[in-house]
Every structure is written in C-alpha cells, then in structure tokens.
C-alpha cells in the first residue's frame, strides 16, 4: 500500500514539474491585474489538488524562473502584514510563449487521451 | 519534528530542514515562506496563528517537504541555466588552451573591467552615506536618513548579487533578507544595525574600490600587452621590417639576455608566440580571479 502511495506521489510530482510553468503563465495571462504569489496559490487551490500536487511552495521558485526568462515582469509593493509583496504580470514575450505552450499541451493531451482510450 | 505553532517556529524548522543548502537558496526560501504565511494570516486574522499553520502544512507544505522541493528545483535550475561546462581535456595543452571555450572566462574578464566603475560607485556611496549618517545623527532628520541609507545598502547588495551571479556564476540570493521576528518598527530598524550582514555588505562596498582598481589594471594591462605582442609581425610587415617608426623615441629594441638589438623577423614571430601564451595565461588568471571574487561576494553579501 505504502509503495503505491509513494509511486503516485512521485508520478504527481513529475506531472506537476512539467505543467506548473504553463499553469502559472496561463493564470497570469488571464488576470486583468497583477497578482502576488499567495493570490495565485489561492486561485489554483479553488481548482482542487491537481496542478501543484498540493504543495503551493512549489510555485515561488517557478515564478522567479519565469521572471528571469523574461516571460513575467514584477514589481514590489510594501504590505502591512509582512515582507513586501512581489506582484507579477505577464509580458508580451510571455504571451507568445503561452500560445505556443498551449498548442503543445493540447497536442500532448490529445495523444495521451488516445492512448488511454485504446485507440492505438 | 513538532508541528509548528507560530510562523517563527515554522521558519526555524524550515531553516533547520535546509541546513547544508546554499545560503543564498535558504534566504530565498525563507523569504517566500514568510511572504506566503503572513499573507495567509492577514487573509483570515480571526483564525489564529496555530490554526492557520495546521492548515498551511497541508497546502503550502510542511517545512521538510518545502525544503526538499526547493532543493529539487535548485538542481533543475542549475542544470537549465548553467552554460554547458566545456569538455574536460586531459592533455596539458588542451587544458591550457581550453580556457578559451569556457564562457565563465569572458564573464570574469568583463567583470574585472566593470569592477572599476562599480567599485568607485560603491565606495563613494558607502563613504558618503556613513559620514552623512554620522554627521546628521545629532539632528532630527538623522534617523530617517540613516534608515534610508542602510536600506539602500541592502538593495545595492542584491544588485551586486545579480551582477556576480550573471558574470561569475556564483549562486546569489534573489530575495532580500527579511527579519523573521514580529518586531515593532523601531526594533526592526534596530535589527538592521545588529545584523552582521549589513556591516559585511558595507565592508564589501569599501573593499570593491581597491579590488576594482586591481582587477581593472590587471585585465587591461595583460590583455593589451598580449594583443600588442601578437600584432608584432603585422606591424613589422606593414612597416617593411622597421618598427622604429611606430614609436616616439624611434628605438625599438629587444633584450633576450644576450644584449640589446633591433628585432628581426624571427624575433617578431617569437614575440607573437609569447603574446598568444600570455593571452591564454591571462584568461586563466581572469577565470581564477572570478572564482575567487565569487567566493568573497558569497561570504560578505549572503547571510550564512
């Protein structure tokens, strides 16, 4: 039993590693105003466990990497509750990349679905 | 490990779980966690800290899970961002000339030239700030000025961190250090001065002037001497075997230990070979100094 749980955990972790950048980019692509890490985490939480495999801490390093790659831009604003918050928004190159990634994701999903439905 | 009951306990456990990791990574992870937890607490202040944390361990992750996640991420990023390391060469000549294929070499060389400008700026900023802070401290405006100045030192330390990471390849923090205790504003200001890192950053800024001068001088001198040596045959050909017209005192002589004389064809070729060797030796020196400076920056700018 334990074996199977850890197998599932590992699989979820690998899935999330591949999709989390796409999801974060999509969330920020759809949002009208800039969001900070906690807000993004809460939006994803509403969708249920899937994307981050339940661990919201995973999104902060990814946000940072997307910013370093120029797909996101950010600015810092002070907050009363704790450290200054970093608000992220998508950049024009980010939108381009998102479009390509969505196409790649659709292609992958279709082919995986076909395999799972036994059409091979 | 007990379930954390306060945010500070959570951060302490996270710090403990990350023991042995890169200090720059620890600083980033703690900042992210603090930002998230404080936001969570601010969202529902009625719930209480312990209750919120019990919930957060499920959503944000328990300290050891978070630590593992950051470690994993770090390995993946390092693989993705690092320029591919040049193939290891066995032969002596391969190792000597292989330095030219290593992107770090050029980053370090460029950093050495840039260090003069940044060094002058940091030094001026630090000296002016410290003296004005001391001078104004007897006035009412003194305190805000001092706080602003120390804040600017932190920002500059992040900026320098980005430069060092981009050019020298040493992992530096992407988030500023944040005092992890619940403190009043005055105590938080006080902690700026008791934080050893503030003072080591100031030391680094002072140190950058002499270091910058040394780096710049070494880089510019050695590169121009090597390039001049390498160009010797060209100058010799263009001037029809007579180098004297290139110089103000009309006396170009070489001295290999057997007496002074005007250089001939063979000697000009010799100079060229010497120049090539000197250029590659310079690249080795630049890469070595870059690595050393990266360590200096990590020790002085990142809280251990």
Which structure tokens are listed for B122? 């940091």
Report the percentage of chain B scoring pLDDT > 70: 87
Q: Does B69 reach chain A within 8 Å, measured CB to CB? A: yes
Contact A81 B39 (CB under 8 A): yes
- Phi, psi angle pair for A73, to nearest 5°: -120, 160
DSSP string, chain B: -PPP-SHHHHHHHHHHHTTTS-HHHHHHHHHHHHHHHHHHHHH-GGG-HHHHHHHHHHHT--HHHHHHHHHHHHHHHHHHHSPPPPPP--SHHHHHHGGGG-HHHHHHHHHHHHHHHHHHHHHHHHHHHHHHHHHHTTSTTHHHHHHHHHHHHHHHHHHHHHHHHHHH-----SS-----S---HHHHHHHHHH-HHHHHHHHHHHHHHHHHHHHHHHHHHHHHHHHHHHTHHHHHHHTTT--GGGSTTS---EESSS-EE---HHHHHHHHHHHHHHHHHHHHHHHHHHHHHHHHHHHHHS--
- Our CA-based measurement puts residue B16 at a distance from the nearest CA of chain A, in whole angstroms, of 17
Residue A119 C-alpha, separation from nearest chain B C-alpha, in angstroms: 35
A72, β-bridge pairs: A90
Could you list the pLDDT tens digit for every one of the 120 residues in chain A?
A: 688 888 887 887 777 777 888 888 888 988 888 888 888 888 887 776 666 666 788 888 888 888 888 889 888 887 766 777 889 999 999 999 999 999 999 999 999 999 998 877
Report CB contact under 8 Å: A57, B32.
Answer: yes
β partners of residue A87: A36, A75
Chain A residues close to B81, C-beta within 8 Å: 68
Q: Which residues of B touch A17 (CB under 8 A)?
A: 76
What's the pTM?
A: 0.70
- Kindly state whether B47 is in contact with chain A, defined as any CB-CB distance less than 8 angstroms: no
Residues 152-211 on B with a CB inside 8 Å of A are: 174, 178
Taking only residues 77 to 106 of chain B, the set having a beta carbon closer than 8 angstroms to any beta carbon of chain A reads: 77, 81
CA torsion A106-A112-A115-A116 (nearest 10°) is -110
- Please tell me the distance from the alpha carbon of residue B110 to that of residue A3, in angstroms, as a whole number: 52
B39 CB within 8 Å of a chain A CB: yes
Confidence band of B21 (pLDDT split at 50, 70, 90): confident
Place of tokens 């001391």: B134
CA dihedral A14→A18→A19→A21, nearest 10 degrees, is 130
- Of residues B42, B16, B101, B45, the one with CA closest to residue B280: B101
Q: How far apart are the CA of A96 and the nearest CA of chain B, in angstroms? A: 21
Distances (CA, A) of B222 to A105, B136, B140, B218, B281: 53, 45, 52, 6, 9
Is A57 in contact with B41 (Cβ distance < 8 A)? no
B208, B156 Cβ separation under 8 angstroms: no
Q: Do B73 and A58 touch (CB under 8 A)?
A: yes
Q: What distances in angstroms separate CA B275 from CA A80, A101, B298, one per listed residue?
A: 61, 50, 34
Residue B130 pLDDT > 90, yes or no? yes
- B114 — pLDDT class (breaks 50, 70, 90): very high
Q: Specify the range with the lowest mean pLDDT, choosing from B87-96, B111-120, B202-211, B295-304.
A: B87-96
What is the overall mean pLDDT for chain B?
Answer: 83
SS3 A117: coil
Q: What is the pLDDT of residues B166-195, one digit of tens each?
A: 888 888 887 777 665 566 777 777 777 777
Nearest chain A CA: its distance from B100 CA (Å): 27
Residues 245-304 of chain B with CB under 8 A from chain A are none
CA distance B215 to B218: 5
- Give the chain B residue nearest A57 (alpha carbons): B60
In this complex, which of A36, A45, A62 lies closest to B59 when CB atoms are compared?
A: A45
CA distance B198 to A71: 33
Could you tell me if residue B303 is left (phi over 0), alpha (psi between -120 and 50 degrees) or otherwise beta?
beta
């Amino acid at each position: 039993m334990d074996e199977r749980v850890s197998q599932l955990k590992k699989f979820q972790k690998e899935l999330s590693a591949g999709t989390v950048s796409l999801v974060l980019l999509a969330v920020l692509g759809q949002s009208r105003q800039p969001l900070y890490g906690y807000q993004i985490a809460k939006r994803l939480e509403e969708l249920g466990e899937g994307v981050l495999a339940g661990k919201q801490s995973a999104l902060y390093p990814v946000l940072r990497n997307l910013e370093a790659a120029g797909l996101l831009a950010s600015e810092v604003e002070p907050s009363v509750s704790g450290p200054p918050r970093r608000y992220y928004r998508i950049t024009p190159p980010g939108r381009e990349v998102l479009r390509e990634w969505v196409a790649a994701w659709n292609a992958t999903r279709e082919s995986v679905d076909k395999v799972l439905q036994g059409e091979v | 490990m007990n379930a954390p009951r306060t945010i500070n306990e959570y951060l302490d456990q996270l710090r403990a779980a990350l023991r042995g990791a890169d200090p720059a990574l620890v600083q980033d992870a703690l900042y992210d966690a603090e930002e998230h937890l404080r936001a969570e607490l601010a969202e529902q202040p009625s719930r209480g800290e312990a209750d919120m944390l019990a919930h957060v361990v499920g959503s944000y992750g328990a300290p050891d899970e978070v630590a593992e996640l950051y470690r994993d991420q770090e390995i993946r990023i390092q693989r993705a961002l690092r320029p591919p390391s040049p193939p290891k060469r066995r032969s002596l000549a391969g190792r000597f000339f292989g330095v030219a294929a290593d992107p770090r070499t050029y980053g370090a060389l460029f950093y050495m030239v840039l260090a003069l400008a940044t060094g002058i700026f940091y030094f001026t900023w630090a000296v002016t700030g410290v003296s004005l802070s001391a001078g104004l401290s007897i006035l009412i405006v003194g305190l805000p000025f001092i706080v602003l100045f120390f804040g600017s030192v932190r920002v500059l330390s992040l900026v320098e961190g980005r430069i060092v990471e981009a050019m020298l390849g040493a992992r530096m923090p992407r988030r500023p250090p944040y005092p992890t205790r619940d403190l009043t504003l005055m105590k938080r200001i006080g902690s700026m001065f008791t934080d050893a890192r503030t003072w080591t950053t100031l030391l680094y800024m002072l140190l950058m002037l002499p270091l910058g001068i040394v780096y710049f001088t070494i880089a510019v001198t050695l590169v121009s001497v090597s390039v001049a040596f390498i160009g010797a045959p060209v100058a010799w050909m263009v001037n029809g075997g007579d180098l004297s017209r290139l110089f103000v005192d009309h006396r170009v002589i070489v001295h290999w230990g057997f007496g002074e004389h005007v250089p001939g064809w063979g000697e000009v070729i010799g100079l060229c070979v010497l120049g090539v060797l000197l250029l590659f030796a310079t690249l080795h020196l630049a890469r070595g100094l870059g690595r050393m400076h990266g360590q200096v920056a990590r020790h002085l700018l990142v809280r251990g």
